[in-house]
Amino acid sequence: MAKKEFKAESKRLLDLMINSIYTHREIFLRELVSNASDAIDKLYYHALTDGQAGMNREDFCIRLTADKEARILTISDNGCGMNEEELENNLGTIAQSGSLAFKRDNEAKEEIDIIGQFGVGFYSAFMVSDHVTVLTKPYGSDEAFRWESDGADGYTITPDKKESCGTDIILTIKPSSEEENFDEFLDSYRLQQLVKRYSDYIRYPIRMMVERSRVKEGTGVEGVPAEYESYTEDQTLNSMVPIWRKNKSELTDDDYTAFYREKFFDYEAPAKVIHSSTEGLSTYNALLFIPSRPPYDFYSRDYEKGLQLYASGVLIMDKCADLLPDYFSFVKGLVDSQDLSLNISREMLQHDRQLKLIAGRLEKKIKSELLDMLKNGREAYEAFYQNFGLQLKYGVYSDYGAHKDLLQDLLLFYSSTEQKLVTLEEYVGRMKEDQKYIYYACGDSTARIDRLPQTERLKEMGYEILYLTDDVDEFCLKMMASFNEKEFRSVSDKDLGLEEPKEDEEVKQKNEAHKELFRFMKDTLGDRVSDVRLSARLKSHPICLSTDGGLSIEMEKVLNGMPGAVPGDQKVQAQRVLELNPSHPVFERLAGLFGTDTERLKTYTELLYNQALLIEGLPIDDPVAFSNAICALF
Ligand code: ADP
């Protein structure tokens, strides 16, 4: 019979594909097993719809046969098979997917799910074999056909004989060379391993005759030494029901832990297991884990987020990043869906509507599970938060605050009154009747913040303050602006919203009375401050720095410390205000010097400003001058 050429571009494509699309050539087995499973699905479906009696799911099977001597690996199924025309169309043209056509023709009937929407899988057989034979007989026909090809130059189709319906894919495995080992694809142990790895969850049994050894009867007892004999046994290689398709009630914590450790290479048990199945708009099973500790590379560029993605039990992607938002990038796990088309390219998957739907639902699920942990397992949640809280806070801040509503309930901050981490809801629930704002203060550590002069008055009045110690914290709160309609307010802010008319009035009057003194001090400090004034914020300390405007001193530090920050005078600078305590002797002394000893007043002003910088943890411009000025006081 004349050899037919593959259709036009197919030839070039075939070459290209064999050599480049799949980096792991072992996946040919996955592809062929999926095709076999599809073919059985199709026949089973026809049987159901044609009302054919006597066809049971249990009758179906996929069989592997390896003949080492002849170097032949056969993958057989008792599925729908192909007639001559189908052979021609399905295997003669690349990217002509019979599965796709079948699905289109049966669009309305939801119960079918066919893996494989892209006509290239079959050709992966050429990655490991130099001759491929397909012997097939369609269901309900007496004719069988043989399709044969050596690769890119073409194929032949001839009539043949086959006993029962279905398809045998017969691969002549390439000879091994020094660089490449193909023998492994004839090795029973390796084949079992590959089925376990890639096709464990195919819903029909994948069987193979496996050689085993046993103690010969009558030996190994009563002083008779044991003799061994080998025998072959028909074995089912796949478990067919993956753990994530099982009922939660059938599974123990140990089952989950063992699965997690083996699959995601962690020594520790997961901090949380999320096992969910959904039906309706999108049907999928998900099994997710929150690790007990951040993976060693979590905070590095090398860390790759993502979930394993299965289409109807077949692994199609190891780390599908689109399934997880960055703020939940610590989640490990997998998703198995029947609604996904098995496309080879990641680009196409990215635009998949189903995938987006699933990602959206997983996001909600992860959040609700975390909230549950927060409510019912506070200690565990705090441990989780120590590990991954930063990621949540970056999530609030990123994308211009687009996810703040989703994430705000999951945040924790250290509280001045409770002396532990609290939620924003807890804070707001405790707010005093007259309290206008949610107060916060920033610094390197909670101990250091606790000593900040700016916090004195609020603390004395019994207000709770959130202590922010991570760089991203203040940016995160600024992005949120408010929580439950209560605005966030820094303890350094000019307006703390306190209702103390008497005291504030006094300060106002004093400010007015000493206007000239403050102007003099402001002129002395020049651009370094935008104002010098008295404030009611201070109780025992003589001075502090505060800011006017949106940029705080902490934010200034963070921004200037960032890798791309511009050195020198282009640094961002908060509008600093030097605040004085009106009831402190230092202020009395300054007032006394004004108009009598301006030189000394200047020196004191410089000194006080530099002290305020030190309290804030900011560098002083000229430490030597500062030191000299102090020594001059002796
Ligand atoms: P895909 O499976 O992605 O559609 P393939 O290149 O793997 O693409 O296969 C092309 C087509 O050949 C399939 O869609 C199917 O119609 C047909 N086919 C492949 N293997 C078998 C099989 N074992 N039994 C029946 N039909 C098959």
pLDDT in tens, 423-451: 999 999 999 998 999 999 999 899 999 99
The answer, yes or no, to whether any atom of ligand 1 lies below 6 A from the CB of 147, is no
Query: What pLDDT score was predicted for residue 350?
Result: 62
Q: What is the DSSP letter of 125?
A: G
pLDDT at 602 (0 to 100): 93
In this predicted structure, the answer to whether residue 111 has a pLDDT above a threshold of 60 is no
458 CA to centre of own chain: 40
Atom of ligand 1 at shortest range from CA of 115: 2
Residue 11 to residues 15, 83, 122, 172, Cα–Cα distance (Å): 7, 23, 14, 20
Mean residue pLDDT across the chain: 86
Task: Give mean pLDDT, residues 571-591.
Answer: 90
Which residue of 40, 90, 105, 134 sits with most ligand 1 atoms within 8 Å of its CB, as the best mutation to test the pocket?
90
Lowest mean pLDDT among 173-177, 279-283, 393-397: 279-283
Look at 31-40, 97-106, 167-176, 522-531 and tell me which has the smallest mean pLDDT.
97-106
> CA 195 → CA 62, 185, 206, distances in Å?
11, 11, 8
pLDDT at 517 over 50: yes
* CA–centroid distance for 592 within its chain: 63
The token pair at 146 is 């043989």
For residues 435 and 457, give the distance between their C-alpha atoms in angstroms, rounded to a whole number. Answer: 14
State whether the beta carbon of 80 lies less than 6 angstroms from ligand 1. Answer: yes
Give percent of the chain with pLDDT exceeding 90: 52
Q: What is the pLDDT of residue 344?
A: 45
> What's the whole-number mean pLDDT along residues 529-553?
88
pLDDT at 279: 76
CA trace torsion 473, 478, 479, 481 (10° rounding): 130
pLDDT of residue 118: 41
Given ligand 1 and candidates 35, 89, 342, which is best to mutate, with the most ligand atoms within 8 Å of its CB?
Answer: 35
Residues 249, 299: contact at Cβ < 8 Å? no
Identify the band that residue 297 occupies on the pLDDT scale cut at 50, 70 and 90.
confident
* Cα 502 from Cα 518, distance rounded (Å): 22
Cβ(119) – ligand 1 distance below 6 Å = yes
Q: Give the tens place of pLDDT for each residue, 87-110.
A: 988 887 654 445 555 556 665 554
pLDDT digits (tens, 9 = 90+) for 47-68: 766 766 567 777 899 999 999 9
Phi-psi region of 261 (alpha: psi -120 to 50; beta: other; left: phi over 0): alpha
**Strand order through the sheet with 438-442:** 421-422, 413-415, 465-468, 438-442, 486-490, 482-483
Q: For 602-613, what is each residue's pLDDT tens digit?
A: 999 999 999 999
In the reported structure, the alpha carbon of residue 342 is separated from the centroid of ligand 1 by a whole-number distance in angstroms of: 13
The ligand 1 atom at the shortest distance from the C-alpha of residue 96 is 10
Q: How far is Cα 553 from Cα 145, in angstroms, rounded to an integer?
A: 80
* Residue at token pair 């399905």: 90
Determine the average pLDDT of the residues in 182-209: 91
Distance 410 CA to ligand 1 centre (A): 48
Q: Please check the confidence at residue 353 and state whether its pLDDT lies above 90.
A: no
Question: Which residues, including other chains, have CB under 8 Å from residue 33's CB and lie 6 or more apart?
Answer: 62, 75, 195, 198, 199, 202, 206
Q: What is the predicted pLDDT for the residue at 53? A: 53
CA of 190 to the centre of ligand 1 (A): 24
pLDDT at 347: 57
DSSP 8-state code for residue 53: T
Ligand 1 neighbour 77 (Cβ under 6 A): yes
Per-residue pLDDT at 346: 54
Overall average pLDDT of the 481-500 stretch: 88
Specify the pLDDT at position 440: 96
Please report which helix (H) or strand (E) contains residue 60, including its range: none
Q: Which of 13, 14, 38, 135 to mutate to test the pocket of ligand 1 (most atoms within 8 A of CB)?
A: 38
Ligand 1 centroid to Cα of residue 176, in Å, is: 28
Distance of CA 356 from the midpoint of ligand 1 (Å): 27
For ligand 1, say whether the CB of 343 is within 6 Å of any of its atoms: no
Q: Span 172-185, mean pLDDT? A: 92
The more confident residue out of 43 and 346 is 43
Q: Is 82 in the pocket of ligand 1 (CB under 6 A)?
A: yes
Residue 118 CB–ligand 1 contact under 6 Å: yes
Atom of ligand 1 nearest to the CA of 166: 24
Determine the Cα–Cα distance for residues 184 and 170; give it in Å rounded to an integer.
16
Dihedral angle at the C-alpha atoms of 220, 226, 232, 236, nearest 10 degrees?
60
Give the residue, 245 or 280, on which the prediction is more confident. Answer: 245
Residue 282 has pLDDT above 80, yes or no: no
If one compares 520 and 115, the residue with the highest pLDDT of the two is: 520
Q: Quick one: pLDDT at residue 13? A: 59
Residue whose CA is at the smallest distance from ligand 1 atom 8: 119
Nearest 5°: the CA angle 149, 150, 151 is 95
Would you mind telling me the total number of residues written for the chain in this entry? 634
pLDDT at 231 over 50: yes
Q: 117 CA distance to ligand 1 centroid (A)?
A: 9
Ligand 1 pocket check for 138: Cβ under 6 Å: no
Kindly tell me if the per-residue pLDDT of 299 is higher than 60: yes
Give dist(CA 288, CA 170) in Å, integer.
Answer: 39
